[in-house]
């Protein structure tokens, strides 16, 4: 009950920020429409809707890190957390309270992207549901990155690191906008060692029904999600002790 009260407050803070609607929903949908329009005029296989839509859902989730990190960094700077640390809320309540309200937002964002993709010609199959569900570990990864950065950075730094750097890393190293094999070399190896490429390939495999391709990418994403969640919990507890 206590945790749910705190989670409810975090949901309100995030949803009342107009940037959430702009970047969380507006920006991915605009990209989807724009790139589909380009595809209609100059066909590129990478921008076919069944390839583009999963990529856009993952790119959209990279903004989740910004929301999660911003709310935590704001709470730290305003001393609200210091006040709440003197209440009966436990460390588990805090971590779940920051994580749980963002998961349904991430799912809603993914579902809306696919709904828009349906209007743009994506076939309606049960694989869409699978692709939405498999975005859950990806969401957890981005939320944990938000908790991690929110525990150590201030609000301004969060804007730079999560709002600019992370979204660009996700864009460049995921294979959404260009085929990584065209670049090759260190760049491609680096992309394959990071989770963003695997998150996009995981969603593409699920959507196109290539079930055998799911697990290899899921392990990468789940592995990163577990490590980042553990690191986020440790850093959160460290800043809690330092209050």
Residues that bind other proteins (CB under 8 A): 1-2, 4-6, 8-9, 12-13, 16-17, 74-75, 77-80, 82-89, 241-243
CB atoms within 10 A of CB 106: 25
Nearer to other proteins, 2 or 189 (CB): 2
Nearer to other proteins, 18 or 43 (CB): 18
Contact between 107 and 132 (Cβ < 8 Å): yes
What is the smallest separation between the CB atom of 74 and other proteins, expressed in angstroms?
Answer: 7
CB-neighbour burial class of residue 238 (10 A; exposed 0-12, middle 13-18, buried 19+): exposed
Residues in the chain: 243
Nearer to other proteins, 155 or 213 (CB): 155
Contact between 211 and 127 (Cβ < 8 Å): no
Nearer to other proteins, 9 or 192 (CB): 9
Nearer to other proteins, 80 or 227 (CB): 80
Q: What letter would DSSP give residue 178?
A: S
What is the smallest separation between the CB atom of 158 and other proteins, expressed in angstroms?
Answer: 15
What is the smallest separation between the CB atom of 63 and other proteins, expressed in angstroms?
Answer: 18
HSE (side-chain half, CA atoms, 13 Å) at 151: 24
What is the smallest separation between the CB atom of 88 and other proteins, expressed in angstroms?
Answer: 7
What is the smallest separation between the CB atom of 231 and other proteins, expressed in angstroms?
Answer: 23
Nearest CA among 121, 96, 131 for reference residue 206? 131
What is the smallest separation between the CB atom of 11 and other proteins, expressed in angstroms?
Answer: 10
Instruction: Spell out the residues 6+ positions from residue 74 whose beta carbon is closer than 8 angstroms to its own.
Output: 13, 80, 155
Nearer to other proteins, 3 or 183 (CB): 3
Contact between 147 and 236 (Cβ < 8 Å): yes
Nearest CA among 82, 65, 24 for reference residue 159? 65
Nearest CA among 227, 236, 238 for reference residue 96? 236
């Amino acid at each position: 009950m206590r945790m749910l009260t705190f989670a409810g407050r975090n949901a309100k803070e995030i949803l009342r920020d107009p940037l959430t609607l702009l970047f969380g929903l507006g920006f991915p949908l605009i990209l989807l429409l724009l790139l589909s329009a380009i595809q209609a005029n100059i066909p590129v296989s990478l921008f076919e809707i069944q390839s583009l839509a999963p990529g856009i859902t993952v790119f959209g989730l990279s903004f989740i890190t910004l929301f999660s990190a911003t709310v935590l960094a704001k709470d730290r700077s305003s001393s609200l957390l210091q006040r709440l640390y003197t209440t009966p809320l436990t460390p588990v309540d805090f971590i779940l309270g920051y994580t749980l309200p963002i998961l349904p937002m991430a799912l809603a964002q993914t579902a809306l992207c696919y709904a828009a993709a349906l209007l743009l010609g994506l076939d309606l199959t049960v694989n869409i549901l699978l692709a939405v569900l498999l975005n859950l570990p990806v969401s957890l990864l981005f939320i944990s990155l938000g908790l991690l950065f929110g525990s150590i950075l201030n609000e301004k730094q969060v804007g730079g690191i999560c709002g600019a750097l992370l979204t660009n890393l996700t864009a460049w190293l995921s294979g959404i906008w260009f085929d990584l094999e065209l670049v090759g070399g260190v760049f491609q190896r680096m992309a394959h060692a990071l989770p963003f490429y695997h998150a996009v390939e995981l969603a593409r495999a699920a959507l196109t029904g290539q079930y055998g391709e799911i697990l290899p990418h899921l392990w990468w994403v789940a592995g990163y999600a577990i490590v980042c969640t553990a690191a986020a919990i440790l850093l959160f507890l460290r800043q809690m002790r330092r209050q």
